[in-house]
């Protein structure tokens, strides 16, 4: 099929690579000319393991090209995937202006029948509104092509996005009319033949809601175990073993039960807010999700409290944050806990250092006053404390002796429960983690 991917960001570019792998002709379109220039030069606009190879494979096979021109992308296009951003607005809801703009322009530019697919994460009923916008614009321009809106939410995780796209757990397809859903299913057929994952066929609103409910549930698991961890800290229990004991129950499962300084990234914080906002807009209070959000904020405060306990006054101290990206395997800093911590610490007069192996240039751009490191050992040297924020391999490879010999004060707050408490304390470190027993002072 002839496909277009509108928005070649973290979701769009992997989608484009996957579509090309499955034998479709793909045009990746983005209105950010610098991104398209980078792609045309054989580079990537962001870091994602394995993505360069997937994109190159599509380009070399002659199936994947790029453009900044939506008219070019939509010419003779059968299925267009909308992968533009839906960033959070101050009131909590997502900004759907980018999605709407694509709908408005597609109504004018489509050269034949088209299935316009929402891959961006959008609240329930966005598809219905989009279809109305398209009908209105078609009437204005005297266009009569059959443009159907479908929903196909994306569940990839940054850091493993290529694997997640090529071998998904499930494909969710929502549409108002069965033909649009079937067309979209046919796009996935080559992957389904090879990999055979379940396909959930639904109406538009249901498909949209599956995405929001999934992310909200995953965020709930994280905040739940973090709340349990805070209780473990007080009663002297070990959250790692609690989580293991819980997760062995098949109804609960092991995943997303790792206590730490909370979730971040471009999805969970924004999607939790958007779901709360959606509920409020229809007169429902989603109290559970409000608590999920509050616990997530609380986890960052816990780190600051621990540093204050150890350092007393923060002003003038030097603190190293180990990891800036919201998780390993990505250079994405959106809503990263480390970036929040850095800003809070700087506001308290702390000299902040950050180590990150791939995101450091973005850190420099966003926080020019931070001292930036790609050498993890250099980042520790003579600092007053270190905080583990992201479990990069370079961080996990540090030994207790590296901390003890490198740091000025032997203070480590492990926000990801990476290190063995006994070994760290045996090396003379004042080591705290999240929800694991501390020795009595």
What is the binding site for ligand NAD (CB under 6 A)? 6-12, 29-32, 35, 83-86, 98, 101-102, 120-121, 154, 156, 158, 266-267
How far is residue 378 CA from its own chain's centroid?
29
d(CA 383, CA 400): 15
Phi, psi (rounded to 5 degrees) for 354: -130, 130
Nearer to ligand NAD, 168 or 323 (CB): 168
Nearer to ligand NAD, 30 or 233 (CB): 30
Nearer to ligand NAD, 2 or 381 (CB): 2
Nearer to ligand NAD, 187 or 218 (CB): 218
- Structure tokens given for 379: 């980042």
d(CA 131, CA 396): 49
What DSSP element (H or E) covers 194? Answer: helix 178-195
Smallest separation (angstroms) from ligand NAD to the CB of 274: 9
Nearer to ligand NAD, 36 or 342 (CB): 36
Start-to-end Cα distance in the chain = 67
Beta-bridge partners for 116: 80, 149
d(CA 13, CA 54): 10
Smallest separation (angstroms) from ligand NAD to the CB of 210: 12
Positive or negative torsion for Cα 107, 109, 114, 117: negative
Contact call for residues 92 and 110 (beta carbons, < 8 A): no
How far is residue 240 CA from its own chain's centroid?
24
Catalytic annotation on 267? yes
Smallest CA-to-CA distance from 219 within 134, 310, 286, 132 is with: 286
Residue with the CB atom nearest ligand NAD in the bound state: 9
Positive or negative torsion for Cα 117, 123, 127, 132: negative
Beta-bridge partners for 25: 2
- Structure tokens given for 324: 């800036």
How far is residue 138 CA from its own chain's centroid?
35
- Structure tokens given for 59: 């380009």
- Looking up tokens 């989603």 gives 286
CA atoms within a 13 Å half-sphere pointing along the CA-CB vector of 190 = 11
* Catalytic residue of the set 83, 267, 372, 389: 267
What value, to the nearest 5°, has the Cα angle with vertex 356 and ends 223 and 353? 90
- Structure tokens given for 1: 């099929």
- Looking up tokens 């973090």 gives 226
Kindly give the pairing relationship between strand 147-151 and strand 171-175: antiparallel
Active site residues: 267
């Amino acid at each position: 099929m002839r496909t277009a991917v509108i928005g070649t960001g973290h979701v769009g570019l992997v989608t484009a690579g996957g579509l090309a792998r499955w034998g479709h002709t793909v045009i990746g379109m983005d209105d950010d000319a610098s991104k398209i220039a980078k792609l045309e030069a054989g580079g990537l606009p962001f870091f994602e393991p394995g993505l360069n190879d997937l994109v190159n494979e599509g380009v070399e096979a002659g199936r994947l090209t790029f453009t900044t021109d939506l008219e070019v992308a939509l010419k003779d296009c059968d299925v267009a995937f909308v992968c533009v951003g839906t960033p959070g607005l101050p009131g909590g809801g997502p900004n759907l202006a980018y999605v709407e703009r694509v709908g408005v322009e597609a109504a004018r530019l489509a050269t034949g029948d088209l299935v316009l697919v929402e891959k961006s994460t959008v609240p329930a009923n966005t598809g219905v509104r989009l279809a109305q916008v398209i009908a209105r614009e078609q009437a204005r321009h005297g266009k009569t092509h059959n443009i159907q809106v479908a929903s196909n939410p994306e569940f990839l995780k940054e850091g493993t996005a290529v694997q997640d796209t090529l071998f998904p757990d499930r494909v969710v397809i929502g549409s108002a009319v069965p033909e649009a859903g079937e067309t979209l299913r046919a796009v996935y057929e080559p992957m389904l033949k090879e990999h055979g994952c379940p396909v959930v066929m639904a109406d538009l609103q249901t498909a949209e809601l599956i995405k929001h409910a999934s992310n909200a549930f995953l965020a709930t698991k994280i905040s739940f175990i973090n709340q349990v961890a805070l209780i473990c800290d007080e009663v002297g229990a070990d959250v790692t073993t609690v989580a293991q004991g819980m997760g062995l129950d098949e109804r609960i499962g092991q995943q997303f039960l790792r206590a730490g300084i909370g979730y971040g990234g471009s999805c969970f914080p924004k999607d939790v807010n958007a779901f709360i906002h959606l509920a409020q807009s229809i007169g429902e209070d989603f109290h559970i999700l409000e608590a999920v959000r509050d616990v997530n904020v609380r986890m960052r405060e816990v780190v600051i409290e621990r540093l204050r306990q150890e350092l007393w006054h923060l002003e003038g101290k030097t603190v190293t944050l180990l990891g800036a990206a919201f998780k390993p395997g990505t250079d994405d800093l959106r809503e990263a806990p480390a970036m929040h911590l850095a800003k809070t610490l700087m506001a308290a007069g702390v000299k902040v250092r950050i180590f990150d192996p791939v995101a450091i240039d973005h850190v420099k751009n966003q926080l020019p006053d931070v001292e930036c490191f790609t050498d993890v050992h250099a980042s520790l040297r003579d600092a007053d404390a270190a905080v583990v924020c992201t479990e990069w391999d370079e961080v996990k490879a540090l030994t207790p002796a590296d901390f003890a010999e490198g740091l000025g004060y032997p203070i480590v707050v492990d926000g990801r429960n990476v290190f063995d408490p006994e070994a760290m304390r045996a090396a003379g470190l004042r080591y705290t983690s999240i929800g694991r027993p501390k020795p009595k002072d």
